[in-house]
């Protein structure tokens, strides 16, 4: 798993971002060139495990160059409750799909997603997770762009 970014002019062009949760996983797609992401979908866990078949279909459809998984931390920088599970999920993604997996601090992304969605989030709770995945991916894309300039 890649934690530090290397200077690379080509870099990953298309990425999928994941907001891992014990019941649901939000997914977004983003582009390095524009530095933006779009919420895609939220997948429910199947018997306590990620829906690997659905994730595989999304990877086949979008053909990402890399994946980004949100790593949850508390405000005091301590690992959040699902931190280790998110790391395990990232390792499983890398092992199953043989793509580079980057980690991004996902602190406050769910709260920001709720804020951005307003009342609509009440109608579609899954949209919060996909929006959080978008924010995680945009955080990583911003960090990547900054690393490339230095």
CA pair distance 28, 100, nearest whole angstrom: 16
The pLDDT value recorded for residue 113 is 47
Q: pTM score, two decimals? A: 0.82
The pLDDT value recorded for residue 17 is 97
113 or 29, greater pLDDT: 29
pLDDT tens sequence across 39-75: 999 999 999 899 999 999 999 999 999 999 999 877 7
pLDDT tens sequence across 121-142: 444 555 788 888 999 999 899 8
Going by C-alpha positions, the residue among 123, 96, 119, 125 that lies closest to residue 19 is 125
Write the CATH number of the domain with boundaries 14-149: 3.30.420.140
């Amino acid at each position: 798993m890649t934690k530090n970014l290397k200077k690379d002019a080509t870099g990953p062009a298309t990425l999928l971002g994941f907001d891992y949760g014990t019941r649901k996983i939000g997914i977004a797609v983003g582009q390095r060139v524009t530095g933006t992401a779009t919420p895609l979908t939220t997948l429910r866990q199947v018997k306590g495990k990620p829906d690997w078949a659905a994730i595989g279909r999304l990877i086949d459809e979008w053909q990402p160059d890399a994946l980004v998984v949100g790593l949850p931390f508390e405000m005091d920088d301590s690992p959040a409750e699902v931190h280790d599970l998110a790391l395990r999920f990232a390792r499983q993604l890398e092992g199953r799909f043989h793509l580079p997996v980057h980690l991004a601090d996902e602190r406050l992304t769910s709260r920001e997603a709720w804020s951005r969605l307003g009342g609509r989030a009440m109608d579609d709770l899954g949209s919060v997770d996909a929006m959080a995945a978008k924010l995680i991916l945009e955080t990583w894309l911003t960090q990547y762009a900054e690393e490339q300039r230095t």
